Structure formats: structure tokens, C-alpha cells
Amino acid sequence: MRRRNFLRGLIAATAAGLTVTGALAQDTIKIGEINHYKRMAAFAGPYKQGIELALDEVNAAGGVLGKPLEFIFRDDQGDPGEAVKIAEELMTRDGAVMLTGTILSNVGLAISSLAAEKKYVYLASEPLADAIVWAKGNPYTFRLRASTHMQASMLAEEAAKTDAKTFATIAPNYAYGKDAVAAFKAALLKLKPDAEFVAEQWPALFKIDAGAEVQAIERAKPDAIYNVTFGTDLAKFVREGTDRGLFDGRVVMGLLSGEPEYLDPLRDEAPEGWIVTGYPWYGVEDDANKAFVDAYMATYKDHPRIGSLVGYMTVQSIVAVLEKAGSTETEAIREAFADLHVDTPVGQITFRAADHQATMGAFVGKTTLRDGRGVMVDWTYKDGADYLPSPEEAKALRPGN
């Protein structure tokens, strides 16, 4: 009797185990999402909400390839080594079919390197360093956001229209900041060959000594300033520069400085008259963008940030590539990204086969104060495709060409 009961229990336990395992393997299509949710909560939080809004819409409409789409969110603490470890776990243990995410470029570059080595598809949704698709580009990495080259070129175009001749730059001392300054210089000197750069400041990321940086720039007496700081560094730089009159009578360009993530915390201390890239969600009128803004505000009782838009477009891009691939196999997904077209709130974008860069553009305008907070005015949306090298030039920038 004891033997019979033991066998029955063993059979039941085995059957239950198989059922659970099968359900985990088959129920959803999993995407591994890695980001700095605690270290950069002001950006990563809205980004996650954008993803979740899009996921709700996709799954309510039947999912993708006949299954619900699921994101597995993991926090890397902004550490490249931790991000690589997590990426491996997501792909091998958790059953993710591809990876996405990261804000900081050094973390994105680490995951991109792993993607090339292990042949994992990685959609770099947010990191902006040009190296991700050019100098360190690889067959398995694709980028969604407009790069530093693209946005810096947009600002250089505006700077060239001013009377400024001498320029100072300030940027965080890591991949994104260095790329952003190099791209701005190259683009401006093409448009304005007599421009001169009289000072370069390179504060450590999130460790800026704003007083010292402002003094160094003031000593150089530039006509214009190109600012690439963001987050808490931007807030300190703006406050110290305003108190010391650094911005008075000068042209100031701010890469990302018009994004709500960075303008909102400044409140009535936000700078006025800066030429910036950002996201004027409060002024969009085209149907697709307004529908996104309205849906986001209805869901979260809060306005979207640029991160919200990028998160939403990340899901749209993944759905589009899976549908084009007709499969969750890595090579099918990789091949489907070539010249993939995606309809988004900012219009149709394309992931270029030549360099894996999407043609998502950026909003460019000027900052001002309105109702006690910083906003963008006189803005236009600039198509990213207009600020990229030709496919032939782009191929030459990638390894092996």
C-alpha cells in the first residue's frame, strides 16, 4: 500500500512539474529590459510607464504572433558589469527572445558588446553615444533614439544662424558627452568655418563642481555656450550660472535640456532663451502624438516625458520587428530589423540597414517660463533622416569596412 501511494504521488508531482514548466515556456513572448531604475528614476520611471502603456494596448489587441508580449524589467544600478550579468540571465535563464533598454551610454556599449559576442539581438532604446551604431556597431545591435550626432547637428544648425563666433562647451566626461561635443564641433565648423572653440569643460558625471565650471567658462569670454550636462548636473550648472550671470547676453545651446525630465525639476529657475532639444508634449497637435499624450495622461494622471515616448516606441518597434520576422528566432529578428518601418507618435521611422540607426528625430526650440515652469516654444520637429550620413558613409564608419 505504501509503495502504491508513493508511486501515485511521484507521478502526480512529475505531471504538475511538467505542466508548470510548459506554461512558463509557452505562455508569453518575453523581452529582457535592463535599465537604471533606481539610479536614474526621473527618466527610467516614465520610460517604464511608456512601455507598460504600449504593452496594455498590444495585448488588448491580441498580442504579437498569437501570444501576449511580456517585458521582464531588471535594474542594473547603472553598472556595466551588472548589466552584462543580468543580460546573460535574461537570455539563458528567463527565456527572453531579445534585449532592450539602458539610458547611460557606457552601459549600452557593454550590453552591445555582449550582444555581438553571444549573438543576442539588442535594441538600444535610449543610449545616445554614436559608437553604439558606428565605431563599435555590430550585426546584433540596433538603436531607436536620435543619436548625439543627430541632435548635436540640429543644434549646430541653429548656432550657425547666430552671430556667435567663439564657443565654450561643457559635457560629462564619458562616451555620450565626448561624442556630443565632437559631433557639435564637426557640424558647426562645416556650417561656420570661422567658429572658434575657446574652452572645454569635462565634469565627472553627476559630480559637477558647478562653481568652478562656471568660472572657467566665464574666464574664456565665449559668445556662446554648448551645454551637454543633464539631470542633477544640469540643475547645479543652471543655478550657479544664473547666479553669476554666465548666460547673460550669450547664446546657449542645450542638448536634451528641453526634456521635461530635466526642465520640470528646475521649476521657475529654468533658463530662458536657450536653444534646446526636448519634448513639448503640451503643444503637439498631430493626431498620432496627441493620441499618445492623451492616453498616457488618462492612464497615469500625469504628463509624459521624453522617456515615456521612447518607452512607448520601444514596444512599437519590437512588435513591428517580430511581426516582420514572423518568428522569435534570433536570426529572423536580426534580419527583420533591416530597413524596418515603424509607425509611431512622431510619424513613421526606419531602422537603417546600413548602420542600424533609426530615423527618429527630435524637437528643437527655445526655453521660456510659463506658469512658473520651463517649457519649449517656437519649436519644430526635425526628421532624423536629414541629419545622418549617407548609407555609404555610415557603412564606412562601422567595424570591418
DSSP for 30-50 reads: EEEEEE-TTTTHHHHHHHHHH
Q: What is the pLDDT of residues 326-351, one digit of tens each?
A: 999 999 999 999 999 999 999 999 99
Architecture of domain 149-284+364-386: 3-Layer(aba) Sandwich (3.40)
Architecture of domain 28-147+285-361: 3-Layer(aba) Sandwich (3.40)
Q: What is the pLDDT of residues 42-61, one digit of tens each?
A: 889 999 999 999 999 999 99
Q: How confident is the model at residue 133 (pLDDT cuts 50, 70, 90)?
A: very high
Q: What is the pLDDT of residue 2?
A: 40
Backbone φ and ψ of 241, nearest 5°: -65, -40
Three-state SS at 188: helix
CATH 3.40.50.2300, the chain: domain bounds: 28-147+285-361, 149-284+364-386
Q: Where are the beta strands (DSSP E) in 36-111?
A: 69-75, 99-101
Q: How confident is the model at residue 401 (pLDDT cuts 50, 70, 90)?
A: low
Helix (H) or strand (E) holding 253: strand 251-258
Cβ neighbours for 369, distance < 8 A, ≥ 6 positions apart = 268, 270, 272, 375
Q: What are the grid coordinates assigned to 22, written together?
A: 510548459
What is the amino acid identity at position 44? A
Distance from C-alpha of 43 to C-alpha of 229, rounded to nearest angstrom? 15
